[in-house]
Amino acid sequence: MSTFEEQAAKAVESGESPGIVVIAKDKHGKLNYSKTFSRNGGTAYKEDSVLAVASMSKLITSVAAAQLVEKGLVTLDEDLSPLLPSLAKLEILTGFADDGTPITRKRKNPITLRQLLTHSSGTAYGFFDPLLARYVEWKKPRPDAGTVDEAFDLPLMFEPGEGFMYSTGIDRAGQLVEKLTGQSLEEYMKQNIWEPLGMTSTTFSPREHPDIQARQVPMSFRNSDKGVVVETGEQGWFEKGLKEPFGGQGIYTTMPDYMKLLHSLLVDDEKVLKKETAAMFFQPQLSPASKESLLKLMRGLEWAIGEFPQTDEYDWSLGGILIDGDKHEFRRKNTMIWSGAANTFWFIDRTAGVCGVFGTQIMPTFDAKSKSLIAAFEEDVYRRAGKL
């Protein structure tokens, strides 16, 4: 079998990938791996290239929200209705009447921060559920919706705490950060996460930072007929028209910057979270009903970037999907993982003592060719660290 580097170089040379940046580190300083791959005639992918990381924003926003808990501004399990009235007013979608109008009912359970961070609050993305997609078609939301309230004024899909659906909950958690601190999400993260970690190329607004914008890599879209990717000036759906920070999808950063957060959580250095708080990012957080809902999803639709074999050993932590067992080939129990729509990917395995990040800019999401490269990279990190 070819090595990851051979596979990545071939993918870039053949036009199957526009470019790749990967970084991996271990807990003890023995592994410090970084590599970039660029194709002739395309945009150069460098270590300091800036990528739209989409849902990789979620981990950073989750850390910000967890800091609020540390500061005593909110708890994980209190009712957030008084703090987030636009979220609190949402009802549960149950179906549609004969004339096509939606049928909703009031929720019974409170919505909590723990639920927002674990995608178990009842909120959802319109494209992940057929019933909600029908609602979006019925509502015909404004095409210029650029605030969290405008973009995600959608009904809940289940009682909070009683299901799982990948969701807009962390964008709502970003609203909570702004509400409780009186700062924009950008200002808060800069002071409390980015500056403490030395993340100097991270922002929600690259246009306001010429140096960052100058290093931004364009989005590429795969030509399904020929299998090659084409760089365009287009944006991904996750970054179009945003008028305020979206904590679940709006961050631009470099892979070295993002690695600083991953490594901080790996070594537990308390630069951004106390040890007891960081521990919850590596512990199961779902209720039994929500976990079963997640497992049902994992058995069906291919909806996650990266390899997730059918082990039935998954939960969700405060920061990402959690490996909840020992059946995986090399991931240890309580490894935390997630990704971004443009086929970016990260993982932290505290037991094995390794973490890694894979950066590219390819749409559409769930790109099969990128998936195989990500799987090869992840396995390569464990091999380089001597953990296979």
CA distance 330 to 358: 18
Number of alpha helices (DSSP H) and beta strands (DSSP E) in the chain: 14, 14
Tens-digit pLDDT profile for the chain (388 aa)? 579 999 999 999 999 999 999 999 999 999 999 999 999 889 999 999 999 999 999 999 999 999 999 999 999 999 999 999 999 999 999 999 999 999 999 999 999 999 999 999 999 998 889 999 999 999 987 777 899 999 999 999 999 999 999 999 999 999 999 999 999 999 999 999 999 999 999 999 999 999 999 999 999 999 776 789 999 877 777 888 899 999 999 999 999 999 999 999 999 999 999 999 999 999 999 999 999 999 999 997 677 899 999 999 999 999 999 999 999 999 999 999 999 999 999 999 999 999 999 999 999 999 999 999 999 999 999 999 999 9
CA distance 75 to 53: 28
pLDDT of residue 271: 98
Q: Does domain 4-57+198-384 have CATH number 3.40.710.10?
A: yes
Residue 58 annotated in active site = yes
38, 55, 121, 317: which is the annotated catalytic residue?
55
Q: Rounded to the nearest 10 degrees, how much is the dihedral formed by the CA atoms of 151, 153, 155, 160?
A: 90
For residue 3, which amino acid is it? T
pLDDT of residue 241: 86
Phi and psi at residue 216, to the nearest 5°: -70, 130
Pairing of strands 51-52, 354-359: unpaired
Long-range contacts: 2-5, Cβ < 8 Å, 24+?
3/376, 3/380, 4/373, 4/376, 4/377, 4/379, 4/380, 5/35, 5/380
pLDDT of residue 141: 76
pLDDT of residue 237: 76
- How many angstroms separate the Cα of 381 from the Cα of each of 171, 239, 323, 388? 31, 30, 17, 9
Q: Residue 57's closest CA among 274, 245, 243, 211?
A: 245
CA 77 to chain centre: 22
pLDDT of residue 145: 83
Q: State both tokens at 159.
A: 């009682």
CA distance 217 to 198: 21
Residue 55 annotated in active site = yes
pLDDT of residue 301: 63
Q: What share of the chain is helix, strand, coil (3-state, %, to 5)?
A: 35, 15, 50
Pairing of strands 229-231, 252-253: unpaired
The answer to whether 118 and 133 have CB atoms below 8 angstroms apart is: no
pLDDT of residue 314: 97
CA 356 to chain centre: 14
17, 38, 49, 58: which is the annotated catalytic residue?
58
Q: State both tokens at 151.
A: 């973009």
Residue 197 sits at the vertex; the CA angle it makes with 56 and 247, to the nearest 5 degrees, is: 30
For residue 315, which amino acid is it? D
pLDDT of residue 302: 72
Beta-bridge mates of residue 24: 33, 356
CA distance 61 to 148: 14
Q: Residue 162's closest CA among 118, 212, 214?
A: 118
The answer to whether 229 and 16 have CB atoms below 8 angstroms apart is: yes
Residue 166 annotated in active site = yes
Q: Is the peptide bond before 210 cis (omega within 30 degrees of 0)?
A: no
The answer to whether 51 and 20 have CB atoms below 8 angstroms apart is: no
pLDDT of residue 365: 93
Beta-bridge mates of residue 92: 105, 156
pLDDT of residue 19: 98
Q: Residue 171's closest CA among 151, 187, 194?
A: 151
Q: State both tokens at 348.
A: 């932290």
CA distance 255 to 357: 7
Number of CB atoms found within 10 A of residue 54's CB? 27
CA distance 302 to 8: 23
pLDDT of residue 86: 97
What residues does each domain of the chain span? 4-57+198-384, 69-181
- Is the model's pTM score more than 0.75? yes
CA 100 to chain centre: 34
pLDDT of residue 300: 75
pLDDT of residue 225: 65
125, 166, 188, 382: which is the annotated catalytic residue?
166
Number of CB atoms found within 10 A of residue 181's CB? 18
